[in-house]
Amino acid sequence: MGDLVHGLGAVEALHHVRPQWRLTFVTQPMFAPLLRGVPGIHRVVEFARRDGLRGVRRLRASLREDRYDVALDLQGNWKSAAVTLLSRAADRIGMAPSMRQEPMSAWLLRRRIRFDGQPHPARCALELVRAVAPEAPFWLPRLAPEPAEVEFEKRAVAAAGVNPERPFRVIVVTDPRDVRSLLPRVIEAETASSREPVLHLYGPAELALTPIADVPTLRHGPEPRRLIALGTVVARAGGVVLGPDQGATHVLSAAGARCLVWFGAQDPRRTAPPGAVALAHPDPPACSPCRADRCKHPSGRVCMEFGGVQALAAETGLPRPESRG
């Protein structure tokens, strides 16, 4: 979900400078609702990759309903490179091997792009778009809800015990086994020290987690558009989101919420939400950042052992966003 959000600013910028082009976006079914209403996307094609060869055949049939001139590989792995091949576009463009998640997948491309600096997905998406539209500006990703979705989410926040019209804090709670997640003791400390009402947000993967007693809790199911609505509610109320470098935080940020994002194992220069404030440990361990799926430090995830007051603002290396006018 985070990878999808990273590319949306560049996609909208491409539409802005090439409004006559028809753009098709390929994504997994669970993320397709996020693309509803994104300017410039004329068609969304779903790729159910977990369906194996059956899913590949359905994708190929869907792509053959149109003729494509250019295919941009925004994700940089075998799956996304294969999608460009299935599109039958004559010009298949992606990042060079050293800037890809899976370097060897560049073999499936026709053109490979390289630039100086860290391969942040939002910057990579911009450079790929500029390969076909050099004047494209750098825009932050933007997601907008429908009015009915905002009203539904405001009622959900109120039902949880928080006034959606006044500033409040959302803390994104995710599975503590994930190296990116906020530590439970950090969540407790941030909750206790807040001067504003705090709402804990749990996603569909956290159904087994027990909420902290007496803390307002909001549980979201698999429908990702609720995150867009919640981010909009937070932004309009003048609130803030505290969260890890995971998909939910990226969507909340793209919906306009002010987000403070914790970084330990992850490197903000590679994955930070473009519009968020990246927070880093003031004295990180030597193994950080590591990009590992599981922590191997003998004392556990010490790289995430810090609160917002202690944190340092981290550099992302992204260009300065340009105005949409």
120 and 205 part of one domain? no
Interior CA angle at 36 toward 30 and 38, to 5°?
120
136 part of a folded domain? no
* Co-location of 6 and 116 in the same domain: yes
Both 235 and 298 in a single domain?
yes
pLDDT in tens, 89-123: 999 999 999 999 999 999 999 999 999 999 999 99
Would 158 be classed as within a structural domain?
A: yes
**Where a domain ends, among 79, 98, 130?**
130
Question: In the block, which residue shows the tokens 């260009």?
Answer: 319
Same domain, 156 and 202: yes
> Per DSSP, what are the bridge partners of residue 259?
241
User: Length of the chain in residues, anyone?
Assistant: 325
CA angle 229, 189, 315 (to 5 degrees): 65
Question: Amino acid identity, residue 272?
Answer: A
- Here the tokens at position 265 are 């194992």
Show which of 98, 130, 162 is a domain's final residue: 130
Q: Do 18 and 155 sit in the same domain of this protein?
A: no
pTM over 0.75: yes
* Structure tokens, 144: 């907008």
One domain for residues 125 and 258: no
Domain membership flag for residue 261:
yes
Residues 125 and 152 grouped into a single domain? no
Q: Would residue 221 count as lying in a domain?
A: yes
Tally of structural domains, the chain: 2
Domain boundary among 101, 130, 159: 130
- Cis bond upstream, residue 184 (ω within 30): no
| 319 in any annotated domain | no
Q: Do residue 17 and residue 115 come from a single domain?
A: yes
Residue 138, domain member (yes or no): no
Residue 120 resides in a domain:
yes
Q: What sign does the CA torsion over 55, 61, 65, 71 have?
A: positive
pLDDT < 50 stretches in the chain:
none
Asked if 170 and 187 touch (Cβ cutoff 8 Å), the reply is no
Question: Who contacts 283 (Cβ-Cβ below 8 Å, separation ≥6)?
Answer: none
234 and 302 both lie in a single domain = yes
Q: How far apart are CA 85 and CA 302, in angstroms?
A: 43
Task: Identify the domain containing residue 297 by its residue range.
Answer: 147-313
Are residues 174 and 302 located together in one domain of the fold? yes
Residue 72 phi/psi, 5° resolution? -105, 125
Alpha-carbon dihedral 55, 106, 294, 260, rounded to 10 degrees: -90
Task: Tell me whether residue 58 is in a domain.
Answer: yes
CA distance 266 to 250: 14
Q: Are residues 108 and 218 in the same domain?
A: no
The CATH number of residue 181's host domain is 3.40.50
Tokens matching residue 94: 């992606």
Question: Where residue 50 sits, what CATH number does that domain have?
Answer: 3.40.50.2000
Query: Domain check: are 125 and 206 in the same one?
Result: no
Residue pair 147/153 in contact (Cβ under 8 Å)? The answer is no
Give the CA diameter of the chain. 58
CB count in 10 Å sphere of residue 201: 24
Helical H runs in the chain?
2-17, 53-63, 78-86, 121-130, 147-160, 184-193, 225-237, 247-254, 268-271
CA distance 260 to 283: 18
Residue 325: per-residue pLDDT: 66
Residue closest to 255 by CA, chosen among 278, 233, 222, 277: 233
